[in-house]
Amino acid sequence: MYIRTIKRKNKDGSVVEYVQLAHNVRHPEKRYPKAEVIYSFGRRDQLDLAALRRLVKSVSRFFDPEEKTDPHATPAPGSAITFVRSRPAGGAYLLRALWNRLEITGCLCEAAKPRVLSPSVSIALFALVARRTLDPFSPLPIRQWASQDVFLGEEIAFQQRHLDRVRELLTTHTGNIQAAVRQSATRLWDLNLDREAGDCTDARGATGDSDPDTPLLADWLSLLLRQVAEVNTGMPWPGIRCAMQRLQLGEFLDAGERVCRFTELTRIQRNILDKLEIDFPQQPPAVNLPA
């Protein structure tokens, strides 16, 4: 594992340099080694040097004093920071912010009364809509996609029964939920939703691959979130999604702690969040792992 820099030439002739954590893997068929990027630190001219110094200091504490100045010293087994995985996080982060502003979970809770919805049902609904918005052609089951292919901002697990409850609510209370969300969106952004998002049946073909197991209202919510992002940024949704999905959350193990870090925001990501009046993501705190 090593840190490398790569350069990319823009159309205007300018050159941008990126800093990446990488390792070499062997091609499964041709058997030659190639670099595989594990984590991107972002542009070199926007590099958070203080964060790198903290990383170096954190790694160095596992070395003996003489090893800190010897680049060829062999580290003790199990002493290094271990990379676990990296998942796209920016798209879900943007959707969650719009979701909360529209109070969609509250609309669902109101429709479910007198029953109380559990957090697992709420995150199951968000996962269902987020998948339709970010990755509608994914072949993975929704629970596997939510835990492996994306960081939804919450690590609350949900089961098949929670998805079944969501589908029941969306199918039974379509009119009430849609009316409440329409009212919230109109109040916040003065959108003409008859023109922008249409009815549930209009949304089915606009969200990608048709999924008979996904309620029509989930497709409508997905389309609404896309339209809100497009109207407020002036960008088409595919461009927004592509830019925001490059914001990754890296997960590491360090001395009995689980450490997660977002990659540095790019200029276009900052611009999108600014136009939507969404706060930049904060680095999550480290979590102590059970012994």
Element (H, E) at 134: helix 119-134
Among 63-67, 80-84, 196-200, the range scoring the smallest mean pLDDT is 196-200
Max mean pLDDT among 163-177, 194-208, 210-224 falls in 163-177
Among residues 247, 111, 198, 170, which one has the least CA distance to residue 207?
Answer: 198
- Does residue 77 carry a pLDDT above 90? no
Contacts with 203 (C-beta within 8 Å, 6 or more apart), sequence order: 197, 216, 219, 220, 222, 223
200 confidence band (pLDDT: 50, 70, 90): very low
Mean pLDDT, the chain, whole residue set: 81
Instruction: Say what the pLDDT of residue 247 is.
Output: 93
- What are the tens digits of pLDDT across the range 16-35? 888 888 877 776 666 666 77
With tokens 């996080």, the residue in question is: 89
The phi and psi torsions of 12 (rounded to 5 degrees) equal: -85, 5
The stretch 199-213 carries a mean pLDDT of: 53
Max mean pLDDT among 181-195, 249-263, 267-281 falls in 267-281
The stretch 229-255 carries a mean pLDDT of: 92
- Does residue 239 carry a pLDDT above 70? yes
Contact yes or no for 211/203 (Cβ under 8 A): no
- Does residue 226 carry a pLDDT above 90? yes
41 confidence band (pLDDT: 50, 70, 90): confident
Max mean pLDDT among 15-24, 103-112, 183-192, 237-246 falls in 237-246
Bridge-based pairing state of the strands 248-254 and 82-88: antiparallel
Instruction: Say what the pLDDT of residue 9 is.
Output: 80
CA distance 103 to 276: 16
Among 46-50, 146-150, 176-180, the range scoring the smallest mean pLDDT is 46-50
- Does residue 291 carry a pLDDT above 70? no
pTM (two decimals): 0.69
- Does residue 197 carry a pLDDT above 50? no
The stretch 233-244 carries a mean pLDDT of: 95
